[in-house]
């Protein structure tokens, strides 16, 4: 039997040097955006009970979850999503806090992708959840945080905004089974016009079927609202479009670079979304680098109903984008290599600590001889060695 002790599981990878520095840069940058806006960091367990992600309300298929049992035989999963654990946390330990509650996180999620198609089973997300606040003020607050976070990390992004209620209202007007409706949703989301038309051609025709047929084409600027209004006169859809138009115009005043788009075909799989939904993309990455939306009914599943909205940023995707663009956080050599002569090892360590306290980046030599220390410094790009003995001597390597 071949051992797998020298490889990583499919869908995972090791991150080295510049990759790690770039990821940490993104995490720090976005965390600073969140904390400056009043959000407080939380961390949820990497292991959660399966019930937290019940597919009946989470929209997360059990097939994508990594599952196991605890010592009592209870089914647990590796965290496939951060919003649901934070909803659990809010409904239990934070239920008595004054509303709204502003939380942010930076932690990995785990999802099984049998087909892989370049996707990672383990990825780091950072995001926010604004809980206990509804309405346009809360929506704009979260959307503006997304715009700021993206703008500081990946200039050139595109933010697409839609509304979960638009597709849901149309879907309620056609009599199809759950499996067929999921096929419709998937075809709209992937903008697979041929597949969508094939499904809808077999249904009784009418204004709602026609609206579903046009849904993936309702993408662009403010002209989308007029095109959508002409498709269907349902009062609920009209209200949804009016609200979305107001959000779009307000957000466009904040972000005037033309990166904000309307996409009424934005019908994400997560069933807990109830209102505005949004995604962000960059040219170098095929999938969304940010996903979010309003989920006003989710906390009710945990016994504490309240409105809520949030989003998650794929840190690994943004890091890959920056690395592909050549925006690398370089691995810089140490400022000084400190080498202690025989008998002066402790003094060298104390001297190293003193230099570090002054803001210098110092490495302590583990070599027996000064010549070996010099050779190592030269190959590592370190331009200065401080040799510690009875006196301290500085050797500059040019």
Residues annotated within the binding site are 81-83, 111, 125, 129, 272-273
- Helix H or strand E encompassing 76: strand 75-78
Q: Look at residues 360, 359, 353 and name the one whose alpha carbon lies nearest to residue 388.
A: 353
Q: Do residues 362 and 355 touch, judged by C-beta distance below 8 A?
A: yes
Distance CA 96, CA 45 (A): 21
Distance CA 184, CA 133 (A): 32
Between the CA of residue 114 and those of 6, 43, 65, 66, 80, what are the distances in Å?
A: 22, 28, 11, 12, 15
Instruction: List the binding residues for L-histidine.
Output: 81-83, 111, 125, 129, 272-273
Distance CA 264, CA 160 (A): 9
| 274-303 as b/e: b if 16+ CB within 10 A | bbbbbbbbbebbeebbbbbbbbbbbbebbe
Q: Which residue has the tokens 């080295």?
A: 16
Beta bridge partners of 299: none
Distance CA 70, CA 319 (A): 35
How is 293-338 classified by DSSP, letter by letter?
EE-TTGGGGGT----EEEEEEEHHHHHHHHHHHT-----PPPSEEE
């Amino acid at each position: 039997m071949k051992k797998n002790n020298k490889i990583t599981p499919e869908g995972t990878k090791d991150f080295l040097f510049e990759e790690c520095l770039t990821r940490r840069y993104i995490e720090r940058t976005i965390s600073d955006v969140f904390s400056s806006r009043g959000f407080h960091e939380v961390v949820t367990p990497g292991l959660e009970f399966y019930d937290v992600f019940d597919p009946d309300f989470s929209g997360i298929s059990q097939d994508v979850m990594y599952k196991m049992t605890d010592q009592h035989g209870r089914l647990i999963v590796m965290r496939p999503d951060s919003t649901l654990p934070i909803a659990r946390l809010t409904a239990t330990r934070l239920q008595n806090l004054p509303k709204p509650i502003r939380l942010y996180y930076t932690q990995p999620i785990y999802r099984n992708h049998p087909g892989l198609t370049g996707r990672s089973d383990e990825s780091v997300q950072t995001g926010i959840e604004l809980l206990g606040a509804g309405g346009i003020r809360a929506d704009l607050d979260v959307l503006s945080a997304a715009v700021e976070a993206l703008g500081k990390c990946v200039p050139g992004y595109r933010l697409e905004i839609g509304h979960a209620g638009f597709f849901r209202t149309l879907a309620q007007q056609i009599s199809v089974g759950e499996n067929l409706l999921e096929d419709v949703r998937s075809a709209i989301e992937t903008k697979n016009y041929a597949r969508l038309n094939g499904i809808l051609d077999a249904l009784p025709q009418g204004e709602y079927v026609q609206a579903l047929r046009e849904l993936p084409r309702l993408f662009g600027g403010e002209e989308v609202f007029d095109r959508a209004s002409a498709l269907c006169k349902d009062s609920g859809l009209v209200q949804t479009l009016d609200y979305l138009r107001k959000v779009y115009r307000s957000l466009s005043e904040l972000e005037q670079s033309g990166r904000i788009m309307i996409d009424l075909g934005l019908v994400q799989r997560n069933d807990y979304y109830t209102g505005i939904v949004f995604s962000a993309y960059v040219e170098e990455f095929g999938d969304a680098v940010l996903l979010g939306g309003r989920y006003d009914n989710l906390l009710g599943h945990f016994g504490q109903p309240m409105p809520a909205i949030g989003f998650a940023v794929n840190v690994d995707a943004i890091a890959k984008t920056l690395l592909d663009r050549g925006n690398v956080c370089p691995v810089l050599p140490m400022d000084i290599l400190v080498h202690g002569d025989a008998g002066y090892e402790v003094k060298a360590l104390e001297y190293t600590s003193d230099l570090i306290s002054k803001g210098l980046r110092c490495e302590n030599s583990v070599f027996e001889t000064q010549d070996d220390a010099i050779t190592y410094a030269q190959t590592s790009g370190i331009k200065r060695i401080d040799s510690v003995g009875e006196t301290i001597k500085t050797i500059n390597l040019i």
